[in-house]
Structure 1
Amino acid sequence: MTHTSVKLTFEQYLEYEDGTDNRYELFDGELIPMPPESDNNDWIAVWLRDELIQLVNRRLVRC
């Protein structure tokens, strides 16, 4: 688990890069590792994106 000895500011968090694909959240100045996306969660995100794209396209293209 990654914990910083010095508390990070929000600006430092935004600039933080550890050279991996790991994702972190900032809680009370500490980096907290986030679990990877589950397959189900990933599928839902892709489905929502596709639905939003179709909705926007229908509203932008009027015949």
Structure 2
Amino acid sequence: MFADDESPKPKQRHEIGCDLSFLSAGELEERIGLLEDEIERLKAEKASKTSSRSAAESFFKSK
């Protein structure tokens, strides 16, 4: 009946500027990994947008 202990924990987020003093070294390492993954995701999106824009500019310059 009390399934609170079995409920999935929400995915951990990192809030920029939050107090880090309460986190263990392991938790800090986990957050670093999350942030590195997010940086890679942002770089990939930026590259995608840059290449799309370059392609569009090339197309319209040739006309």
User: What TM-score does the superposition give when structure 2 sets the normalisation length?
Assistant: 0.41
User: What TM-score does the superposition give when structure 1 sets the normalisation length?
Assistant: 0.41
Q: Decide which structure has greater strand share.
A: 1
Higher relative contact order (CA 8 A, sep 6+): 1
Structure number, greater radius of gyration: 2
